[in-house]
Amino acid sequence: MNRVYVCNCFGVTEAQVKQHAADGACTPRQIASASKAGTDCGSCVRSIQALLGRGTCPRRELADQGQPVLAGLDAGLDTTLNEAA
């Protein structure tokens, strides 16, 4: 089986991004919180956006309010991402 890497900086594969999305990650920021993908050079963010698509997300309302939507979020990484925004 071929592994297609989305984020070379942290070795995150397309399958991992899809699994995080299936677990409720709706945005690149939430994927970053779950896997660090997109938090170094940022060149993979567009690929992550493409994988996530523009479909509906049952947790998007929480995300839009800035509330965590994934179980076990790394609070430190989430804080760092919020400061960068």
pLDDT of residue 73: 45
Q: What is the mean pLDDT of each run of 10 residues along the chain (85 residues)?
A: 90 94 90 96 94 71 66 46 45
Give the span between the Cα atoms of 3 and 19, in whole angstroms: 14
pLDDT of residue 76: 45
In whole angstroms, how large is the CA radius of gyration of the chain? 12
pLDDT of residue 53: 85
pLDDT of residue 77: 47
Of the candidates 41, 34, 8, 6, the one whose C-alpha atom is nearest the C-alpha of residue 20 is 34
Q: What is the pTM of this model?
A: 0.65
